[in-house]
Amino acid sequence: MNTKKDDKTIAKNPNAYHNYEIIDKIEAGIVLFGTEIKSVRAGKVNLKDSYAVIEKNGEVYVYSMNISPYEHGNIYNKDPLRPKKLLLKKSEIHKLIGQTTMKGYTLVPTKIYFSGNFVKVELGIGKGKKLYDKREDIKKKDAERNMERYMKEKLK
């Protein structure tokens, strides 16, 4: 899935690509209330330990997505960690069910962003990485960083 250039990223999940090998991505809308939208516009969203689940009734929910309460919201603020419903087409939900029933696959929100005036969530279908896979990724990142430093010094 390619997002448009005018999309504005609000928050990314720092653990998604570290803990999971993301195989496929899908875009979903999210059901939010008024004060939650205001908090999202202010950038008060945390996706760190969030995950998505397909319920028995065929609806998809995101759990542990923290949207901080709006400061001026008073009694209208909702619970920051309440499950948030995702908006997907029935065919997309059936596709997700097929992919997540395979052993070790799960739904992980990778980022939340604005698409026009709408808030969208990018869901990644990921397989959990083993410890040695995580170590390999860290080694690759360090090697790339060292190569860039070396090239910068060489060009000076």
> Is position 1 within any domain?
no
> Is position 156 within any domain?
no
Q: Which domain holds residue 57?
A: 8-129
Residue 3 has a pLDDT of 47
Instruction: Tell me which residues of the chain have a pLDDT lower than 70.
Output: 1-7, 73, 76
Residue 87 has a pLDDT of 92
Q: What is the pLDDT of residues 43-73, one digit of tens each?
A: 888 888 888 999 888 899 999 888 888 777 6
| CATH code, 71 | 2.40.280.10
**Number of domains forming the structure of the chain:** 1
> Is position 139 within any domain?
no
Residue 129 has a pLDDT of 78
> Is position 148 within any domain?
no
Residue 36 has a pLDDT of 84
> Is position 145 within any domain?
no
User: Distance between CA atoms of 111 and 30, rounded to whole angstroms?
Assistant: 12
> Is position 153 within any domain?
no
> Is position 75 within any domain?
yes
Residue 97 has a pLDDT of 87
Model pTM? 0.75
CB under 8 A, 24+ apart: contacts of 137-140:
137/18
User: Distance between CA atoms of 11 and 88, rounded to whole angstroms?
Assistant: 20
> Is position 2 within any domain?
no
Residue 1 has a pLDDT of 47
Question: E strands within 14-147?
Answer: 20-30, 45-46, 51-54, 60-63, 66-67, 84-87, 105-115, 118-128
Residue 5 has a pLDDT of 54
Residue 4 has a pLDDT of 53
